[in-house]
């Protein structure tokens, strides 16, 4: 007999993905959807009349370059975390080998 649990779970995942896509179909940033907390908070702060007292040294010329720099930063972080995790896993294996001897 075929186990139905994975099929039911797959169907539930499909529903979880499909329902928001159908509800918010065609709605975007102009209607207020998909705005992050940074966008909303900066809008509220600007409405109070606040003037920033410090400015960035350099701003990327386009959003694409800003995205690329963000992805590069995330990739470097993942490489560092992977190295640390693998280092500790190898250390644990080495200790286990030494304890067996």
At 31-44, the pLDDT tens digits run 666 666 777 788 88
As a whole number, mean pLDDT of residues 13-26 equals 85
Q: Which helix (H) or strand (E) holds 85?
A: helix 63-100
Contact by Cβ (8 Å): 50, 59: no
Q: Which pLDDT does position 9 carry in this prediction?
A: 94
Q: Token pair for residue 98?
A: 């030494």
Contact by Cβ (8 Å): 35, 29: yes
- pTM (predicted TM-score): 0.49
- pLDDT above 80 (res 97): yes
Q: How many CA atoms lie within 13 A of 71 on its CB side?
A: 6
The more confident residue out of 83 and 98 is: 83
Contact by Cβ (8 Å): 11, 18: no
pLDDT tens digit sequence for 54-95: 888 988 888 899 999 999 999 999 999 999 999 999 999 999
Lowest pLDDT segment from 9-18, 19-28, 75-84: 19-28
């Amino acid at each position: 007999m075929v186990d139905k649990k994975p099929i039911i779970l797959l169907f539930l995942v499909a529903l979880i993905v499909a329902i928001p896509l159908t509800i918010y179909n065609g709605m975007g940033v102009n209607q207020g959807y998909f705005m992050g907390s940074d966008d909303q908070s900066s809008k509220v702060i600007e409405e109070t009349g606040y003037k920033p007292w410090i400015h960035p040294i350099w701003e990327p010329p386009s959003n694409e370059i800003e995205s690329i720099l963000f992805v590069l930063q995330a990739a470097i972080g993942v490489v560092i975390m992977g190295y640390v995790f693998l280092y500790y896993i190898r250390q644990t294996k080495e200790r286990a080998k030494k304890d067996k001897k």
